Amino acid sequence: MDLEAAVRTRRTHKSFGPAPVPHETLDELFALARWAPNHHLTQPWRFRVLGSETLARLKEAGGPTEALKLDRAPTLVVASAKLSGDLVQDEEDLHATACAVYAVLLGAQARGLASYWRTPAVLRTKRGRDAVGFPEGERFVGLIHLGPPRSEPARKERRPPEDYVAYLD
């Protein structure tokens, strides 16, 4: 699948088949992330693939409502940005990490996988952060759900460029 096709066809999936994503495929996706643009090549992104024990801790931290949502996909990855404490660099590193997550999503799409990028509140709490082993100095960016698609999500129309682009003199 070429880049434009991956960008145009990637959708948020909330219905996954049961098979987990193989480690080899995850390694390929994370290798794509390293090509995300980032100032000073800080490569601030961190990815944590959740195993069953970590997932159980996160479910407990999130409570019953969040636990149901955490069971949607067979593979869950927590993305975070390692911050330096410099406000300008940290802002750039957060944006770079978001680009790295998008590279993972596009790579998943190109491999026929379904994906869903969430930002559940539990991962902004101390209990949620502790459940996945966040050290001080890291900021949560997203929870990536990955797996085989169970169905195709509905296609939603996107706003045309003239709604959000301005050419300035």
**What b/e string do you get for 44-76 counting C-beta neighbours within 10 Å, with b at 16 or more?**
bbbbbbbeeebbebbbebbeeebbebbebbebb
Q: What is the pLDDT along the chain (169 residues), one digit of tens a residue?
A: 788 888 887 888 888 999 999 999 999 999 999 999 998 899 999 999 999 999 999 999 999 999 999 999 999 999 999 999 999 999 999 999 999 999 999 999 999 999 999 999 999 999 999 999 999 999 999 999 999 998 887 788 889 999 999 999 9
Count of domains observed in the chain: 1
Residue 112 within any structural domain of the chain: yes
Domain membership of residue 168 (yes or no) is: no
Tell me, what's the pLDDT at 12?
85
Q: Is residue 169 part of a domain?
A: no
Query: For residue 94, is it within any domain?
Result: yes
Angle, CA of 22, 127 and 77, to the nearest 5°? 15
Report if residue 131 sits inside a domain: yes
Residue 138: give the domain boundaries.
Answer: 3-163
pLDDT at position 135: 93
Residue 86 lies in a domain: yes
The helix or strand, by DSSP H or E, that contains position 169, with its residue range, turns out to be none
Which CATH number belongs to the domain containing residue 39 in this structure?
Answer: 3.40.109.10
